[in-house]
Structures are given as structure tokens and as C-alpha cells.
Structure 1
Amino acid sequence: MSPRSRSWTALVLPPVAWFGFEQGLSALLHARCNLAGWGLAWGAASLIVCALAAWLAWPLARRGGDLLATLWLARLALALAGIFALAIAFQTLAILLVPPCVG
């Protein structure tokens, strides 16, 4: 995988993981609210995707690449992986705090 495609993949994965977590969990809980336990597994899988993105970007952010843009994209991907991982973690913890079948 080229440094450019690696940095773009690392940049795109965290928002896609977060969006999939949000929409997938919402659809699951609207259909069957008693399956909230799956939300914890879904959140863990989404966090793993964010960790994968950080793993892809880490070597490029440290040493750079052939282009300054690749270095910048890799560092941006690391920041996005952290931000989206934090959002996913808090939303996963909310599954434990708020009962899904209220109403």
C-alpha cells in the first residue's frame, strides 16, 4: 500500500466507523430494544477500526513520507482517530447508563 493511499485510508476509516456505529446501533435498537448488549460489541468493533486507522497512520506521521501532504494527512488521521474513538467510547458507555427500552 502506498503512503498516500495508506494515509487516506487512515483518514477515512474513523468517520466511517463512527457513522456505521451510530446508524447501525440506532436501527438495531429501534427494531429490538432488548438487544442493547450488542451495542457494546458494536462499539468495541468500531473502536478497533479507529485503532486500525491510527496504526496505519502512525509510521507515516513519525517519519513523514515523500510528500509533505502525506505527513500532514497522517497526522490529521491520528487526530481524527482519537476524536472519533472518544465519541464512540462515550456513546458505548451511554448504552450502559441509559436503558434502551424506556417508553
Structure 2
Amino acid sequence: MTPSAKAWLALSLPPVAWFTFEQGLSAVLHADCTRTGIGVVWGLTALGLCVFAAHSGWRLRRAPQTLVSAWMARLALAVAGIFGLAIAFQTLAILIVPACAR
């Protein structure tokens, strides 16, 4: 895989992980609110994908490549941090607020 493709993957993986976490978890918990355990596992998996993207961006930021790929790798670090924080807060909310409390 080229450094540019790796940078694009590191940049696009956190938003996709967050979107699938939010929408998938909404569908699962809306159908059966007693399955909160799957939400925590799903959140930790999505958070792991953000950590993987940040690690990839960290490795790419100093690799010999074009300036655009290096810039995208640094941007991927910021994006992974932002979306990882959003996923972490939502996972924490799953643990704090009971899903069936309506």
C-alpha cells in the first residue's frame, strides 16, 4: 500500500468507525434496550480502530513521502483524537445511563 493510501485510510477510518458505532448501536439498542453489553464492546472496538488510525498516522508523519501525505498523516492524528474522544464519551454514557430508562 502506498504512503498516500495509508494516510487516506488513517484519515477516513475514525469517522467511519464513529458513524457505524452511533448508527449501529442506535439500531441495536432501539430494538432491544437490554443489550447494553454489546454497546460497550462495540465502543471499545471503535475506539481501538481510532487508536490504530492514530498509530498509522504517527508512523506516517515522518516517513519520506510527499508533503501532502505528511500533512494528511498529521491531520489523521487530530481526527483520530477527536472521534476517539467522541466514541469514548458515548461509551461512558452507555455505562452511566441505563438504556431502558424511558
- How high is the sequence identity, in percent, across the aligned residues? 59
Aligned length: 102
Alignment-derived partner of residue 88 in structure 1: 87
**1:39-96: CA deviation from partner (whole Å, max 9, x where unpaired):** 10000000111011112111111x1432111110000001000110000000000001
TM-score under structure 1 length normalisation: 0.95
Alignment-derived partner of residue 54 in structure 2: 54
What CA RMSD, in Å, does the superposition of the two structures yield over aligned residues? 0.9
TM-score under structure 2 length normalisation: 0.96
Alignment-derived partner of residue 37 in structure 1: 37
Q: Which runs of 5+ in 1 are unaligned?
A: none
Q: Which runs of 5+ in 2 are unaligned?
A: none
Is the helix fraction higher in 1 or 2?
Answer: 1
Separation in structure 2 between the aligned mates of residue 20 and residue 96 of structure 1, nearest angstrom: 19
> What is the one-letter code of the residue matched to 1:36?
T
Structure 1 segments, 4+ long, off by >6 Å, are: none
